[in-house]
Amino acid sequence: MYDVILFLWFSCEMLYFVTIFLSAFLLFLVQPMIAKVILPDFGGGASVWTICMLFFQALLLGGYLYAHGIIKWLRPRNQLIVHACLMLLAITFTPIAVDTIAVESSPQMTILVTLLISIGLPYFVLSANAPLIQQWFSYDKPKISPYKLYALSNTGSLMGLIAYPFLVEPFITLQSQLMVWSAAYWCFVGCSIALIATLFVRLQAPKIVSDDSQEAERPTVVLPWIGLSALGVIALLAVTSSMTQNISAIPFLWLLPLSLYLISFIICFGNERLANRRLWLGVTAASLPIGMLLFFFASMFDIVVQLFLYSLILFSVCMACHGELVRMKPASTHLTLYYLAMSVGGVIGGLFVSFIAPWLFNQFIEFPLVIWLTLLMLAVLPISRNGKSRFLIRFGLPIYLAASALGFMLTNNLFQQYDVAAERNFYGQLAVKDVTVNGLNERRLVDGTTSHGTQSLDLAKNNEPLSYYRRGTGVEAAISTLQQQGPLNAVVIGLGAGTLAAYGLPLDSFKFLELNPLVKDYAYRYFTYLENSKADVNVEVGDGRQLLAGYTGGDIDLLVVDAFSSDAIPIHLITREAIALYVNSIQDDGIVALHISNSHLDLVPLVFGLAEEANLASSFVLTKATSPAENTAQWVLLTKNPNILQQPAIKKVTSSWPSSISKPVIWTDDYSNLLSVLK
């Protein structure tokens, strides 16, 4: 009997750590995995991750609410039985499979419904696991703080995030990833059932420390938990959106901010002394002007500098907020309420960034705003708790915040003074600006921080293609070459201002495939390229790759791939599978023109590698800017017939390939590595 009891004790001790670590590991491993599966269905935009994070936060709230409910209303042994049954039910939803469930005219709801059906119940069980195990641990060992297990849980979450880009994504296809994750989930359920069975014996007479105090349930205590948690999530999502809109919506740039977010929890709950209020208040205060600088001028910095500054801002805000959360944590009897309040804050933060901010603002104001609000809350909290605060916080910080807000508004007014129109939707931030460059009056379509089309406001010149599409560029050479062979059938992925329609001749056909309906609206309302074109012009709204896959016949003469979100090209449009689709869509003498101009990424070795692998003839066309009003344009032309690239119009503009092609890169739908194309 003694041997059996000893075995149960040691096995239970180990199972506490194994189950809480494994549940957190799987909880965060599946997030980038599922998001990447559905990313191409929504144009590869940065907002996909924001909506996914809202879903994960909502399920986390549901799991914490469930945990709080059964802890509050059920006896310990009944808690164990209920949770064991729910785990067994969740297994029936594995292996997980992801099928997009379309909700008409609402990409946000489509994502939420798709995720709910595919991963909802298994993720819900994982969400509830950490608070339940910590509560059961407090029953079993009332003299030991269960909050240390929260640091362990976040460590497991961090390991799950790190494992995905380095151990899972490079070596396992997406469908296999879902199967491997499901197998690991089965292991988690097995360990959890073993722990529950062991505790069912040990908790016959639970050793619960009584605490009749209602202090922790007062709004003055609970509301700061919610507010601080919400600010941390807003900072996480706002920084992620700001980073990905100018670089690319890929798992690496989702996981870096989320990793920093989790590390702040690990540090704060693992060693409270490292969450020094004065230190992180100072760092956050210093981050405010940096955040405003990035808001206006992020594209002027290279990727490494951007990542460092964004990371510094996010980490300082999270350390400040989560440090306060740790200092305000209640006794273990209110543990599930504490986590529930934090989860409510997380959902509020997700709702704010996903739905409220796009409705309130036509810019990504929430990025600098969350730094400002964090400082404001840190100024208020010490006063509201004990009525005491140092002079610098009580008087200096409010003055600093007021001056910062005034400076931001004045600067922003200067930036918006040229706006003709500005709106924001699920796909990003769009503006039309009238500017004067070198005495020339122009109208520009700006997505995020990048111009996506320019038109002269001089009526005598307003049908002349400008910017990346001007005469002498690779796309112009491809159009003129193919038009010499007869009426041109062109399909363009990415509309912008509709500049390419200006090249259209009678009997030509130009079909534009545009993901963002707002771009179509602006192109027709504020620019005249489409309506003045001599060609037959049509614009179809939807993801370019998906729409193109629905075409049959391979009768396209020219396929132009020019789909950018701000300065980032959607990854699923430059993969091995995408190139195969393009090649099958064009005629034998047709051309695929890829626009690869980019401030931060060198896409030349990628496109060169894909062309070589597909056995396509290719030409690189670099058209340098000759004045401040122009952009340096990079185009790559691909074709099945090498003779096409020897035609005079193309031969005249062809450039030598850069030296970077010595190390060609291949991306697939299953794997892409941002580091391989950094400039």
The domains found in the chain, sorted by start residue, are 1-204 (1.20.1250), 216-413 (1.20.1250), 468-677 (3.40.50.150)
* pLDDT in the model for residue 153: 86
Q: Which of 122-131, 215-224, 385-394 has the lowest mean pLDDT?
A: 385-394
For residues 38 and 101, the model is more confident at 38
Q: What is the pLDDT of residues 134-178, one digit of tens each?
A: 888 888 888 777 777 787 888 888 999 888 888 888 888 888 999
Are 619 and 642 in contact, with CB atoms under 8 Å apart?
no
Strand order in the sheet with 536-541: 536-541, 509-514, 489-493, 556-561, 586-595, 633-639, 617-623
Mean per-residue pLDDT, 242-266: 79
Distance (Å, whole) CA 304 – CA 297: 15
Mean per-residue pLDDT, 250-260: 79
* pLDDT in the model for residue 7: 44
Mean per-residue pLDDT, 171-196: 92
Give the residue among 114, 111, 105 at the shortest CA–CA distance from 46.
111
Distance (Å, whole) CA 211 – CA 131: 18
Q: How confident is the model at residue 496 (pLDDT cuts 50, 70, 90)?
A: very high
Q: What SS3 class is residue 309?
A: helix
Q: How confident is the model at residue 48 (pLDDT cuts 50, 70, 90)?
A: confident
For residue 400, what are its two tokens? 């600093």
Q: Which of 84-88, 328-332, 620-624 has the lowest mean pLDDT?
A: 328-332
Q: What percent of the chain has pLDDT over 70?
A: 91
Q: How confident is the model at residue 308 (pLDDT cuts 50, 70, 90)?
A: very high
Q: Which of 18-27, 45-54, 484-493 has the lowest mean pLDDT?
A: 45-54
Q: What is the pLDDT of residues 622-648, one digit of tens each?
A: 999 887 767 899 999 999 999 999 999
Q: What is the 8-class DSSP label of residue 678?
A: B
> What distance separates the 2 farthest-apart alpha carbons in the chain?
97
Q: Report the range out of 73-77, 244-248, 600-604 with the highest average pLDDT.
A: 73-77
Q: What is the pLDDT of residues 369-384, one digit of tens each?
A: 999 999 999 888 765 5
User: DSSP characters for 139-187?
Assistant: HH-TTS-THHHHHHHHHHHHHHHHHIIIIITTTS-HHHHHHHHHHHHHH
Instruction: Give the containing element (helix H, strand E) for 589.
Output: strand 586-595
pTM, entire model: 0.82
Instruction: Give the containing element (helix H, strand E) for 285.
Output: helix 277-297
User: DSSP characters for 382-446?
Assistant: HHHHHS---HIIIIIHHHHHHHHHHHHHHHHHHHHTTEEEEEEETTEEEEEEEEEETTEEEEEEE
Mean per-residue pLDDT, 29-42: 85
* pLDDT in the model for residue 333: 78
* pLDDT in the model for residue 27: 93
* pLDDT in the model for residue 647: 96
419-425 and 450-456: which strand pairing?
unpaired
Q: What SS3 class is residue 22?
A: helix
Q: What is the pLDDT of residues 525-568, one digit of tens each?
A: 999 999 999 999 999 998 888 899 888 777 899 999 998 765 56
Dihedral sign for Cα atoms in the order 250, 252, 257, 261: positive
Average pLDDT over the chain, rounded to an integer:
87
Distance (Å, whole) CA 164 – CA 161: 6
Distance (Å, whole) CA 259 – CA 155: 10
Mean per-residue pLDDT, 105-123: 88
Mean per-residue pLDDT, 496-519: 95
Q: What is the pLDDT of residues 470-480, one digit of tens each?
A: 999 999 999 99
Q: What SS3 class is residue 204?
A: coil
Q: Which of 237-246, 496-505, 519-528 has the lowest mean pLDDT?
A: 237-246
Distance (Å, whole) CA 241 – CA 235: 10
Q: How confident is the model at residue 426 (pLDDT cuts 50, 70, 90)?
A: confident
pLDDT greater than 50 at residue 4: no
Residues facing 511 on adjacent strands: 491, 538
pLDDT greater than 70 at residue 1: no
Q: How confident is the model at residue 5 (pLDDT cuts 50, 70, 90)?
A: very low
Q: What is the pLDDT of residues 259-306, one digit of tens each?
A: 999 999 999 988 888 888 889 999 999 999 999 999 888 777 877 888
* pLDDT in the model for residue 561: 95
Q: Which of 92-106, 194-208, 278-292, 655-669 has the lowest mean pLDDT?
A: 194-208
Helices (H), 74-106: 76-91
